[in-house]
Structure 1
Amino acid sequence: MIAHIFADLCSGCNACIATCPTHVFDFGAETPVIARPDQCQTCYMCELYCERDAIYVAPDQHAMEAVDPDAIRTSGHLGQIRRDHGWDRPREDGHLDPYRFLGPLLREGVEAAERRFDKKLS
């Protein structure tokens, strides 16, 4: 579940807002705000899209985790998802891992499902 945004690392690019398929974030004055942590699916898309490694998603999908930001910084977890998926390394064919396209596709699916659900309620 989404656990922490490191404001000092965040560039305010809002890529996490754009890629989150379940609308966990809202726009903030300088950094995004974790507005709906209970909607987090622990898909790690926000971590993957954060080029500054300013987001930490805890591995427990069902419970909010109390985090120690200093411990997270020193643990090496920041940016680990991006490194593990090779997002900063082009493949031999020159493309980044296609997993990066999953976020917007998931969001489209969620929005389509919401439209269908809203029509059924009408």
Structure 2
Amino acid sequence: MIELVIAERCTSCDACVEVCPTNVLDRTLEGSPAISRQQDCQTCFMCELYCPADAIYVAPDCENHTPVDKDAILAAGLLGEFRRNHGWDEWAGDPRYPNEHWRMESVFLRARDVAIGEAGTKRAGEI
């Protein structure tokens, strides 16, 4: 479950907000996103994967909130660990792989947009 967004590291790109399939994060005027609906987190790690600044920590427990200490997370080097362990961005700078087939944002964002469109159509049809 998402536990931490570290404002000092956040670049305010809102990539995490865009990719979250359950709308857990909200954009803020301060820059870094706010965890607004933590109980809706599916622990899919998409926010952590897409955070280019490694400013997000998602705990592996998908059922319960896990209290974490920001300083302990920073000291342990856990920020960005999921990205590193999965080779995320591994080939981003290599011109031999221009298609970036290993990036799945088009799949996830397309699925989300379809779901939003279907929900909007249902509402419009009910009126």
Q: TM-score, normalised by structure 2?
A: 0.81
Q: Which runs of 5+ in 2 are unaligned?
A: none
Task: Calculate the aligned-residue CA RMSD, in Å.
Answer: 2.3
In structure 1, what is the Cα distance between the partners aligned to 2:111 and 2:72? 31
Partner SS for 2:57: strand
Deviation at 1:36, TM superposition (A): 0.6
Partner SS for 1:78: coil
Question: Aligned pair count?
Answer: 122
**Greater relative contact order structure (CA < 8 Å, 6+ sep):** 1
- Map 1:16-55 → 2, pairs under 5 A: 16-28=16-28, 29-55=30-56
Alignment check: 8 A CA contact 2:49 2:82 kept:
yes
Deviation at 1:81, TM superposition (A): 1.3
Q: Which runs of 5+ in 1 are unaligned?
A: none
Which residue in the other structure is 1:88 paired with? 89
Q: TM-score, normalised by structure 1?
A: 0.84
Deviation at 1:21, TM superposition (A): 1.0
Higher Cα Rg: structure 1 or 2? 2
Share of identical aligned residues, percent? 39
